[in-house]
Structure formats: structure tokens, C-alpha cells
Amino acid sequence: MLGTIRKNLSLSQLRELEKFGGKVNKFGVNFAVCNAGGELVLLCDGSNKTAHSGRRIAKGLKTQNHVLSGVEGSKLKTLECYALYAKRCVEIESEGICRLGEHNQILAAALKSGSEAVGVALIDLSDISSCIVRDVSCDIRNTIFSEMLAFLAENFQAAAKAEKQIEMVSTELSQAYEELVLLHKLSTNMKVTEPDSNFLQMACDSLTDMVSVEGIAILLEKTMEDEKQLVLVAGLGLIDINERMAAVLHSRLVEQIDSGKEALLDSEVDSPFRYEWSDSIKNIIAVPLFGKDKTGSGLVERTPNGDCIIGLMVAVNRLDKPDFDSPDVKLFNSVANRCAVFIENGRLFGDLKELFVGSLKALTSSIDAKDQYTRGHSERVAFISRWIAERFTGAEPLQEEQIHKIYLAGLLHDIGKIGIDEAVLRKNGKLTEQERGRIKTHPSIGAGILNEIKQMRDIVPGVLCHHEQIDGKGYPSGLVGEQIPLIGKIVGLADSFDAMTSKRAYRDAMTVEEALAEIEKGLGTQFDEEVGKIFINSEVYHLWSIIQDGFTDVYGAGSSVEYGTEAVGSIIR
């Protein structure tokens, strides 16, 4: 019974009704409240001015006989009558005060929440014991108590309406807070180095924590076999999206956007489906992901502000209500906008990386072009440095980010030669001491150039120290053993191997066997023993074939731009 009470009349409402009962009791009349089902939930007895809560009465109820413990037979009959009067009041559906009983001694008023009766308040005038109203005429007495009861009913309805409005506002605020938390979570996780799929899957997971759906998916525009199409990149739950369905969704969404709508919404709740869908779809929502299509070959014409649909978010079958509604459209569009921003940022970051690595390669190519005998040297040293770094164990294997930086150090190790006269670099004969001194400045010049670029500072030691030797006979600083950073040791070995196996104006190229023998001979003096042994014990002949093949085995189509772009991401994130 207690559950029924709480369902129909809240505890706060019962407390207010009990206060009113206490006031009525002063006139020596009984006040009772029944719920909509006719069960007595509150009795304020005016004969002895003590109030009994409906909860205490509820504990005394036994079976269908309504036997109340500690209640006299006459009183019990009265209580049973109150329940019958309450049911009668609800049946009458009167908007005012009902006068019930043989002598109209019972005044009853429905307690409403909106248009629904949630209870009935009764005043029993059959046994007035107060001298204040005992001598007042019956008509006047009835009028006074009727007005009091009507005022109570009116206040109850107003309070119930206010309570509902507060509850509604509270729910809306709670939902708005959850939406803000979701959008904040998406915004704070917009790391351009994060793969699109990870972020978009997080968006799907987070959104379904708030909106209960059978299935959700995000589709993005991708080039497949030289043709642009929408491809599933993230999703959750039961949702069937094939190539045909993706095309259908796209065309129907475009149709809705062109007609001024913010989303594609379709269901058969208020009217038949606008479009034909599979039998598994009861309701559906789709919102666009807008972006910039630089090629002008997107799946849809540009909007006036230059945007086009680069993807879409779709969800099917709302589980906790009949259909998707306007708040859902706003939430889905907000999440889709964050996803689109993330994708655009990622693409811009990718463009930036490609531009950056393209500039680096153009710079190193210009250096290599100064000497026809060293053409391609920088790219080969970068690859050999990466080869060694990937096989380095040491105390623990190098992290991918460290390997990327070693690769870039190898790529830029000779950048300082931009400050050396071409005549010195291309000289066929023996260098003079002065010319040799100029050559020895190129690590310092390169380090000075890169040191001005904040993001390049981690690779400066590789550029500065690639001509240092373990025995201290290297340059520019004559560092010894562990004074030389690992990045310098690796790039230095890679540089020496490529120099030995490349033809020079003053000598022919060594064979791989000869170069390996020279490296082994220089372990502990020119080269670090650990780094040298890792290189010698690796599949050097396979490495050599990759280099001779133009790196096609590892880069494809003879281009290292893609790997270089990935490596650049490690220094500008």
C-alpha cells in the first residue's frame, strides 16, 4: 500500500494535507484523505485533536476485510465509509465540492494533478464538537467548510502543477548538463594525432550512454577504387549499413537538407513512413557531417558557405520512447559537428605534415644536388638509421616516437652543408686543411639551423653528433663514449655505411662485405659496439636490396613521403 501512496500522493503533499487537517480539527471535525484507488492514506480525527498518518493506518490493514488494529467498530465503519465516499467523488468527476452522505454531512473534493485525480479530501461534519461553529446554522457551516475545502483543492492543483514544472525543468537541466559533459568530453579528446576511427567510436559510445538506441553508425566519404563512397568507420549495436543503404541514406539526407531541414527523421508514429525502409527499422535519424572538399568532387554540391557533406551519423530505433524528436536532432547535430571538426582538423594536420616533410625533402634534395656523388644520400641515411633504431634493444626497445625522430635526424644530418661552398663539396682532389675545417663545420651549422625550430630540438643531437667517434677523435666536439647521444651514434653509423657503399670522386664504392668489415674493425673506436653489432647482425643484405630497389618494398611506388609524414607527426604534435 505504501507504494501506491507514493505513486499517487507524494510525502510532501501528504505533509501539507496533514497541516490542513490539523487546522480543520480545531473546529471539531474529521478530515480524511484517500488516494485515487479509494484507500485511506490520512486521517485527522477532530474528536480528540490527534492526527493519524495514512502510513500508520496502512500498517493496520489486514486482507480484504479492512480490519484496523486498535480501531473501534464504529470508527472502522466510518473509515470504510470515507473510502466509499472517495470512490464516489472520483466517479462523479465533479469540478467543485461534492456533498455526500444521507444528510450531505460529508464534503469531498478531488485532489488533481493536471486533469487527473490523484486523491480525494473529505471533511466530515456529522459530529461537530467545537463550540465555535456548533451554534452556526447548517447552511453557513457547510458554506464555510466547502470554501475551505475548495481552497485546499485549488492550492493542491496549483502546487502539483508547480511541482511538475520544477520536475520538468530539473529533467531538462539534467539532460542539458549531460549533453554539455558529452560535448566537453569530445572537445577535450580532439587530439589531431588520434586516428579518426578511435575518436568517432568514442563519440558513438558516449552518445549511446545518453540516447538509448538499437544501433548507431558513422559513415565517412572515402575514395575506394578511384570512386568516392560512404564507408562505415564507427558504430555500435544492431544496424545494417551496406553500400546500397549508405547511398540511399545519403540521397535522402541531402533531400531533407535541401528542403531546409537539419536532419533526416522518419517513423510511422504520427503518420506513415516518408520513405521505404527495411522491416527492422521502426524509426530513424540521420544528420550530416559538414566539411571542406578541396577537390570539388564530393558526393554532394557545395553549400553557399563552401561546405559539403563529408559523412553522416545515423541511428535507428529509439528504445525508451516512440520516436526521435527535436532535442535528439540538436544533440546528434552537436555531436556530428564535433566529429566533423575533428576530421577537418586531422586532415589539416595531415596536410601540414605533408607540406613539412615535402619541404624537408626538397631541402635535403637541394643539398644532395650540390654533389652528384651523394645524390639520395640523405634519404638512404634516414632509412638505415630507422632500420637500426627498430632493431635496437639496449635496456629496452625504442618507442615508435623515438624511431621517428632518429629517422628525421638521418634525413637532415647533412643540412649544415647548405652553408659550405659548392667548390669544396665537389672538389675531386685532396682537401686542404682549411677546406677540411670548413667541412667539419657542417654539423654545427645544421644544428644551429634546426635549433631555431622548437619542434626540431629533439633531433638536433643526431645532426650535431653524427661525426663524433667513441675514441674522441671525431668532430665537432671530440666527445668520448657515452658522451655521444644514442641518436648521434646511430645516424653516424648509418652515414658511414652509406658513404662507404657509395661511389666518390676520389674512390670507388665498397662492397657490402668490405663496408661491414670496416665497421667491425672500427667497433669501440669509431663506432659504438652495441649499435655496430646490432647493425652487423641484422639482415644487411636484405637492407641493401631494399635500398637498391628504391625502397619499394617498404614504401611502395618508390616514395617515402607517407612514412616521412608519419614521422613528422612525432615532432609537431
Q: What is the CATH number of the domain that holds 394?
A: 1.10.3210.10
Q: Which residues of 384-406 are buried (b: 16+ CB within 10 A; e: fewer)?
A: bbbbbbeebeeeeebeeebbbbb
Least confident of 231-240, 448-457, 564-573: 564-573
Phi/psi of residue 50, nearest 5 degrees: -120, 145
CA–CA gap between residue 347 and residue 311 (Å, rounded): 14
CA–CA gap between residue 486 and residue 461 (Å, rounded): 9
CA–CA gap between residue 24 and residue 109 (Å, rounded): 15
CA–CA gap between residue 19 and residue 513 (Å, rounded): 103
Q: Assess whether pLDDT exceeds 70 at residue 306.
A: no
Residues 302 and 338 in one domain: yes
pLDDT confidence tier of residue 235, bands split at 50, 70 and 90: very high
Q: Could you tell me if 43 and 79 are in contact, meaning their C-beta atoms sit under 8 angstroms apart?
A: yes
Residue 437: inside a domain = yes
* β-bridge partners, 120: 34, 110
Q: Could you tell me if 1 and 61 are in contact, meaning their C-beta atoms sit under 8 angstroms apart?
A: yes
CA–CA gap between residue 319 and residue 307 (Å, rounded): 33
Q: Assess whether pLDDT exceeds 50 at residue 200.
A: yes
CATH code of the domain covering residue 96? 3.30.450
Q: Could you tell me if 401 and 487 are in contact, meaning their C-beta atoms sit under 8 angstroms apart?
A: no
Residues 442 and 490 in one domain: yes
Residue 186: inside a domain = no
CA–CA gap between residue 417 and residue 81 (Å, rounded): 108
Work out whether the CA dihedral 469, 472, 474, 478 comes out positive or negative.
positive
Q: Which three cell numbers stand for residue 140?
A: 453557513
CA–CA gap between residue 40 and residue 71 (Å, rounded): 14
Residue 173: inside a domain = no
Q: Which three cell numbers stand for residue 237?
A: 549495436
Least confident of 117-131, 267-281, 361-375: 361-375
Residue 231: inside a domain = yes
Residue 171: inside a domain = no
Q: Could you tell me if 231 and 222 are in contact, meaning their C-beta atoms sit under 8 angstroms apart?
A: yes
Q: Could you tell me if 475 and 443 are in contact, meaning their C-beta atoms sit under 8 angstroms apart?
A: yes
Q: Assess whether pLDDT exceeds 80 at residue 364.
A: no
CA–CA gap between residue 106 and residue 117 (Å, rounded): 18
CATH code of the domain covering residue 283? 3.30.450.40
- Three-state secondary-structure class, residue 128: coil
What share of the chain in percent tops pLDDT 90?
A: 38
Number of domains in the chain: 3
Range of the domain at 45: 2-162
Return the pLDDT at 77: 64
Least confident of 144-153, 175-184, 241-250, 289-298: 289-298
Residue that is written with C-alpha cell 638505415 in the block? 384
Q: Could you tell me if 488 and 468 are in contact, meaning their C-beta atoms sit under 8 angstroms apart?
A: yes
Prior bond to 327 cis, omega within 30? no
